[in-house]
Amino acid sequence: MVGLLDAESTNLSTRNSRQYTDLDLFFSKVSSTKDVNKMKNVSAVKRSVRNLVLTNHYEKPFHPEIGSGVRGILFEPMTPVTAVILTEHIENVIENYEPRARLIGVRALPNLDRNAYEVSVEFFVVNAPTELIEMTMMLEVAR
């Protein structure tokens, strides 16, 4: 497999009990079948974690409880207390709504020059518990 940069490249064992798949939300096509591309294993879980963090309450139809509320926190003054609250919201949404990720930690570092937070999320994928996955996102106010 070419182009894999994370644990998915080393997780080709046939002993895996579950394969995680999600649709690619950019709707790129598979050239041979003209079908929508699927994301598998680690990349599917990473995309799901990113989507959970960026989702607000009441955005997901029929599930108003799913969401982190991060966008509302971004309009608060940038203080260490706000960074802790942001971290707690992200931890709660991942622990409650993503059973495929075993969360290790979340860090939110304020970037005063860009009026944004650099958020780092560390977790293990339940199916591939040998490699720590670290995602970094820049959360800023959309104007």
The whole-number pLDDT of residue 2 equals 42
Q: Does the pLDDT at position 52 exceed 90?
A: yes
Region 5-33 average pLDDT: 64
Return the bridge partners of 118, or none: 109, 138
The whole-number pLDDT of residue 3 equals 46
Beta-strand ranges (E) seen in 56-126 are 101-111, 116-125
pLDDT digits (tens, 9 = 90+) for 80-115: 999 999 999 999 999 999 999 999 999 999 999 999
- Mean pLDDT score of the chain: 84
Residue 136 · residue 118 · CB < 8 Å: yes
Domain ranges of the chain: 42-140
- State the fold for domain 42-140: Nuclear Transport Factor 2; Chain: A, (3.10.450)
Residue 127 · residue 100 · CB < 8 Å: yes
Residue type, 8: E
Residue of 121, 128, 104 lying closest to 10 (CA atoms): 128
Q: Is the pTM of this model over 0.85?
A: no
Which residue's structure tokens are 């497999």? 1
Region 11-34 average pLDDT: 67
Classify burial at 2, counting beta carbons within 10 Å of its beta carbon; exposed 0-12, middle 13-18, buried 19 or more. Answer: exposed
